[in-house]
Copies of this chain bind each other. A is one copy, B any other.
């Protein structure tokens, strides 16, 4: 077990957040994972997060219930259809996808901040990625820098102890293939992870949403098969 500084890691159980957890561990942090039940259409995501947390010896994991449905407006939480791609088709780039949830990362980071403050941590990790998800405004480096500024003004630790809180986004500039390669070098078993936006009732990936597309592309670029696909 690590005896390093505590870090809060946002853990959805997907490929990106799992790799981020592995990176935080490799950097010597003691791991505190935070997951959310936010009206997702599927529970398979949280089950993946649970497996991953156990595999990495996470010291404490919290699952926070939040109701984002009250705001509506996203295919991940509403009745809006998740878009599916035809074979060979690539996701739209530039535009903000319908799977965008209003203020989601801001809400997630705010809970992470509260958790960090409670356990005396000054390090928050999240697996956002500016390349594959250029359509999400809250995945951009300038957004994260601004949030770090807020974190440093918002907390008791920052005021009383002069502690400097850091938001770590180690995947921010990596391609999906680079993320997978980095994770495999750290021993991540991607069979445990779940990325699909629209799995079937047995939790099997649809293989045609944006998230499945990007994941498949990443493994394919490395000449590998996705171990999570049967």
Contacts and interface: CB of A to CB of B under 8 A. Distances in A.
Interface in A36-87: 62, 64-68, 70-73
A150 B146 contact: yes
Given A65-B65, A160-B96, A102 B118 contact: yes
Contacts of A104: 114
A73 B155 CA distance: 13
A7 interface: no
A140 B154 CA distance: 9
Given A146-B146, A149-B146, A106 B154 contact: yes
Contacts of A143: 150, 153-154
B107 A103 contact: no
Interface in A143-167: 143, 146-147, 149-151, 153-156, 158-160
Interface of A: 62, 64-68, 70-73, 96, 100-107, 109-111, 113-115, 117-118, 137-138, 140, 142-143, 146-147, 149-151, 153-156, 158-160
A146 B113 CA distance: 15
Given A155-B137, A159-B96, A159-B137, A102 B117 contact: yes
A102 B62 CA distance: 16
A110 B149 CA distance: 15
Number of copies: 2
A111 B68 CA distance: 8
B64 A67 contact: yes
7 contacts: A96-B160, A102-B115, A103-B113, A106-B110, A106-B113, A106-B151, A140-B153
A105 B138 contact: no
Contact of A64 (B70, B73, B105, B153): B70
Nearest to A113: B103
Nearest to A109: B110
